[in-house]
Amino acid sequence: MLDVGINPVTGADGQIHLVGGVDTEAVAPIARAVTPVPGGIGPVTDVWLIRNTVAAARGAQQAAGGASVRARRISQPGPGPCMS
């Protein structure tokens, strides 16, 4: 189950917590796995966004008669601002 819902709720401790849109306990008997919220589907979305961006750049450059575009690996020193 890919839980893409993000809903702020106030917990018993008075703090606001993010929860998904899936009732995990209710779907547990029929779902093999449920993505966590937060931190579940975001990385998958990022990968597909990058993949589609590279594909669009390649297509645009080929349509213009230019050289092909190659993706290159980049390194990130640590987690981004949303991962902390």
For 20-33, the three-class secondary structure string (H helix, E strand, C coil) is CCCCHHHHCCCCCC
Our count of domains for the chain comes to 1
The answer on pLDDT for 72 being more than 80 is: no
10-66 pLDDT per residue, tens: 989 999 988 888 888 888 888 888 887 777 777 777 888 888 888 888 888 888 776
Kindly report the length of the chain: 84
For residue 40, which of 2, 78, 83 has the smallest C-alpha distance?
2
The answer to whether residue 37 is domain-embedded is yes
Query: Running DSSP on this structure, what letter comes out for residue 77?
Result: S
The answer to whether residue 77 is domain-embedded is no
The answer to whether residue 76 is domain-embedded is no
Distance set, CA 54 to CA 4, 30, 60, 62, 75 (Å): 24, 37, 10, 12, 17
The answer to whether residue 70 is domain-embedded is no
The answer to whether residue 75 is domain-embedded is no
The answer to whether residue 57 is domain-embedded is yes
| Residue-range definition of the domain harbouring residue 51 | 7-65
The answer to whether residue 82 is domain-embedded is no
